[in-house]
Protein backbone atom coordinates (compact mmCIF):
# COMPACT_ATOMS: atom_id res chain seq x y z
CA UNK A 1 0.00 0.00 0.00
CA UNK A 2 1.41 3.35 -0.99
CA UNK A 3 1.22 6.61 0.91
CA UNK A 4 0.90 8.67 -2.23
CA UNK A 5 -2.08 10.95 -2.71
CA UNK A 6 -3.72 12.08 -5.89
CA UNK A 7 -3.30 15.76 -6.59
CA UNK A 8 -6.00 17.23 -8.74
CA UNK A 9 -6.20 20.81 -9.86
CA UNK A 10 -9.98 20.82 -9.59
CA UNK A 11 -11.08 22.41 -6.27
CA UNK A 12 -14.34 20.46 -6.34
CA UNK A 13 -12.46 17.14 -6.47
CA UNK A 14 -10.24 18.24 -3.59
CA UNK A 15 -13.33 19.17 -1.57
CA UNK A 16 -14.99 15.81 -2.27
CA UNK A 17 -11.86 13.91 -1.20
CA UNK A 18 -11.65 15.91 2.03
CA UNK A 19 -15.36 15.49 2.72
CA UNK A 20 -15.07 11.71 2.30
CA UNK A 21 -12.11 11.59 4.69
CA UNK A 22 -13.95 13.73 7.23
CA UNK A 23 -17.07 11.58 6.99
CA UNK A 24 -15.03 8.41 7.51
CA UNK A 25 -13.30 9.92 10.54
CA UNK A 26 -16.63 10.97 12.02
CA UNK A 27 -18.29 7.60 11.51
CA UNK A 28 -15.36 5.33 12.38
CA UNK A 29 -13.66 7.28 15.18
CA UNK A 30 -16.01 9.81 16.75
CA UNK A 31 -19.40 8.11 16.64
CA UNK A 32 -18.49 5.07 18.79
CA UNK A 33 -16.99 7.34 21.45
CA UNK A 34 -20.00 9.66 21.50
CA UNK A 35 -22.38 6.71 21.69
CA UNK A 36 -20.47 5.13 24.58
CA UNK A 37 -20.36 8.43 26.48
CA UNK A 38 -24.12 8.81 26.02
CA UNK A 39 -24.79 5.28 27.25
CA UNK A 40 -22.59 5.73 30.33
CA UNK A 41 -24.14 9.11 31.17
CA UNK A 42 -27.65 7.71 30.76
CA UNK A 43 -26.84 4.71 32.98
CA UNK A 44 -25.44 7.00 35.68
CA UNK A 45 -28.58 9.11 35.44
CA UNK A 46 -30.95 6.12 35.65
CA UNK A 47 -29.11 4.60 38.60
CA UNK A 48 -29.12 7.88 40.52
CA UNK A 49 -25.35 8.14 40.60
CA UNK A 50 -25.44 11.41 38.65
CA UNK A 51 -27.58 13.05 41.35
CA UNK A 52 -25.17 11.88 44.06
CA UNK A 53 -22.21 13.24 42.10
CA UNK A 54 -24.10 16.50 41.62
CA UNK A 55 -24.82 16.78 45.32
CA UNK A 56 -21.21 16.07 46.32
CA UNK A 57 -19.58 18.43 43.81
CA UNK A 58 -22.15 21.24 43.81
CA UNK A 59 -20.07 23.49 46.15
CA UNK A 60 -17.01 23.17 43.93
CA UNK A 61 -18.86 23.69 40.66
CA UNK A 62 -20.97 26.46 42.19
CA UNK A 63 -17.82 28.61 42.22
CA UNK A 64 -17.96 28.55 38.42
CA UNK A 65 -21.73 29.01 38.30
CA UNK A 66 -22.33 25.43 37.16
CA UNK A 67 -24.45 22.62 38.58
CA UNK A 68 -22.65 19.79 40.36
CA UNK A 69 -23.37 17.36 37.53
CA UNK A 70 -21.10 19.41 35.28
CA UNK A 71 -18.09 17.74 36.91
CA UNK A 72 -18.75 14.66 34.77
CA UNK A 73 -18.21 16.49 31.50
71 neighbors 57 (Cβ within 8 angstroms): yes
What confidence score (pLDDT) does residue 72 get?
86
Q: Give me the residue spans of the domains in the chain.
A: 32-73
What confidence score (pLDDT) does residue 10 get?
87
1 pLDDT more than 70: no
14 pLDDT more than 60: yes
73 pLDDT more than 60: yes
Report helix angle 31-47 to 49-62, nearest 10.
Answer: 100
**What pTM did the predictor assign?**
0.62
Predicted confidence (pLDDT) per residue in 15-67, tens digit: 999 999 999 998 999 999 999 999 999 999 999 999 999 999 999 999 999 99
Residues across the chain: 73
Collapsing DSSP to helix, strand or coil, 48 comes out as coil
Amino acid sequence: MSNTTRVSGNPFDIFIIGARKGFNIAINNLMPNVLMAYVIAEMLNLLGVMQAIGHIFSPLMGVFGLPGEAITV
